[in-house]
């Protein structure tokens, strides 16, 4: 038989799915895949339930329900001062994943180079490759994950079609600094490149900091597409409602990709998300504050059992070193041990690399109930104590 497409043939199932399956099989506390264990606000759920029984339940407009497109445009104004035309500059997709796929398919042609910052979210490489693009990876390193200006400059060439950044960044929990964003903007303008900005964690930024989209930098409005996700903003990851904002001449081909990938996104969920985006500012502030308290709770717990917890400025992930804990020096093996023997699932950070990955870090997700965090820490403490007693 003829071979199936090599990009998707023989590759692994995503680390998130794999770890969630293992967590289930071992009855583990699942701190692997990133999802909150409490659903988003009751009034948004109620809005969705009403929209399910009262409709709409038939195909919505291909670009998305007008009321959601308007809500997305208004949020861009409210949070970032961006003036966005809801008719031509917003597209609703089935999650940020689809938005990424549509954007990459629509902007990248065979042979185009796409600059990616590594560690990277796992769908980026296969999507760029399937579009015929050539990934050019620039690595940021722990503990500070600073972007090296010379390395970034060297990654751009006359063949660069786009840079794809994730800001705030999973799994590093990094927020790109103003000067890093400024440099990215300069390089995009200098090389006439687009920027695809995965900003799904835009509202999960801590310690009083404010997210600043690359799109707000001088000269970037016309060359940037910005991707958001209701899954993250409203703690409803299973809903898969995403949005892309960008100039009309980019949204148009991206919408044409969307038209042949999913065509539309469930209208009742769109209606509820439109309602959600009208929430007062304190909803968004409280979300970040609640998560920050969880970040601190889990940081204390993980440090108390011996992990080196790296700084976390955003997202709902903690990246941790496990040197000297008796868990070896391979993150995949360490995660296997923890899920099977300690009853706690995490994800190996090496899964976020295209090759030659560091193997000394694992990621824990902290958007969990306080008692779940405490239970996970107690399990880790008991497991490590027993193991150290054995080896003593
Ligand atoms: N980008 C990043 C960086 C993510 O962590 C995720 C995970 N949810 C996504 C995109 C996908 O978002 P969605 O579930 O809306 O497709
Ligand atoms: N973004 C989530 C994470 O990083 C996972 C989403 C998924 O499972 N595809 O954990």
Is 390's pLDDT higher than 80? yes
Residue owning the nearest CA to atom 1 of ligand 2: 34
Best mutation site among 96, 173, 261 for ligand 1 pocket (most ligand atoms within 8 Å of CB): 96
- Say what the pLDDT of residue 375 is: 98
Residue 190 CA to ligand 2 centre (angstroms):
33
**Ligand index nearest the alpha carbon of residue 347:** 2
Q: How far apart are CA 269 and CA 275, in angstroms?
A: 10
Q: How far apart are CA 72 and CA 84, in angstroms?
A: 9
Is 229's C-beta closer than 6 angstroms to any atom of ligand 1? Answer: yes
Residue 264 CA to ligand 2 centre (angstroms):
22
Percentages helix, strand, coil for the chain (3-state, rounded to 5) are 45, 15, 40
Is 4's pLDDT higher than 90? yes
Tokens representing 158? 């006359």
Residue 300 CA to ligand 2 centre (angstroms):
24
Residue 42 CA to ligand 1 centre (angstroms):
22
Q: In ligand 1, which atom is closest to the CA atom of 97?
A: 16
> Whole-model pTM above 0.85?
yes
Best mutation site among 30, 32, 237 for ligand 2 pocket (most ligand atoms within 8 Å of CB): 237
CA distances from 76 to 72, 93, 180, 258 (A): 6, 17, 22, 21
Give the dihedral sign, CA 162/168/173/178: positive
pLDDT (tens digit per residue) in 171-214: 999 999 999 999 999 999 999 999 999 999 999 999 999 999 99
Q: How far apart are CA 91 and CA 243, in angstroms?
A: 6
Averaged pLDDT for residues 342-346: 98
Of all residues in the chain, what percent carry a pLDDT higher than 70? Answer: 100
Residue 47 CA to ligand 2 centre (angstroms):
25
Give the dihedral sign, CA 364/368/371/372: negative
Q: Which domains are assigned to the chain?
A: 15-40+282-391 (3.90.1150.10), 42-279 (3.40.640.10)
């Amino acid at each position: 038989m003829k071979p199936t497409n090599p990009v998707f043939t023989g590759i692994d199932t995503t680390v998130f799915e794999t770890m969630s399956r293992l967590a289930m099989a071992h009855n583990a506390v699942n701190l692997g895949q990133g999802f909150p264990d409490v659903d988003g606000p009751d009034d948004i759920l109620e809005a969705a339930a009403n929209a399910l029984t009262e409709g709409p339940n038939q195909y919505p407009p291909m670009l998305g329900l007008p009321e959601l497109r308007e809500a997305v445009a208004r949020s861009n104004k409210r949070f970032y001062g961006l003036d966005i035309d809801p008719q031509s500059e917003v597209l609703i997709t089935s999650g940020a994943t689809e938005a990424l796929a549509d954007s990459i398919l629509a902007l990248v042609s065979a042979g185009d180079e796409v600059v990616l910052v590594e560690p990277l979210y796992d769908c980026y490489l296969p999507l760029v490759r399937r579009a015929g693009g050539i990934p050019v990876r620039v690595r940021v390193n722990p503990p500070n994950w600073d972007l090296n200006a010379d390395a970034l400059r060297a990654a751009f060439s006359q063949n660069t079609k786009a840079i794809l950044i994730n800001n705030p960044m999973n799994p590093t929990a990094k927020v790109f600094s103003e000067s890093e964003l400024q440099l990215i903007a300069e390089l995009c303008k200098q090389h006439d490149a687009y920027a695809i900005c995965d900003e799904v964690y835009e509202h999960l930024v801590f310690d009083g900091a404010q997210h600043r989209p690359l799109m707000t930098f001088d000269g970037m409005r016309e060359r940037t597409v910005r991707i958001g996700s209701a899954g993250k903003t409203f703690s409803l990851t299973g809903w898969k409602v995403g949005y892309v904002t960008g100039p009309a001449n980019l949204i148009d081909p991206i919408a044409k990709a969307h038209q042949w990938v999913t065509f539309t996104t469930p209208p009742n969920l769109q209606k509820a998300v439109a309602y959600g985006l009208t929430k007062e500012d304190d909803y968004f502030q409280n979300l970040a504050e609640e998560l920050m308290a969880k970040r601190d709770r889990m940081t204390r717990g993980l440090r108390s059992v011996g992990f080196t917890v790296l700084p976390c400025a955003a997202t709902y992930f903690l990246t941790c070193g496990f040197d000297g804990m008796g868990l070896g020096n391979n993150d995949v093996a360490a995660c296997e041990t923890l899920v099977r023997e300690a009853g706690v699932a995490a994800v190996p950070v090496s899964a976020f690399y295209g090759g030659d990955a560091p193997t000394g870090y694992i990621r824990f997700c902290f958007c969990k109930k306080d008692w779940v965090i405490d239970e996970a820490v107690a399990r880790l403490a008991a497991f490590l104590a027993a193991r150290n007693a054995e080896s003593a």
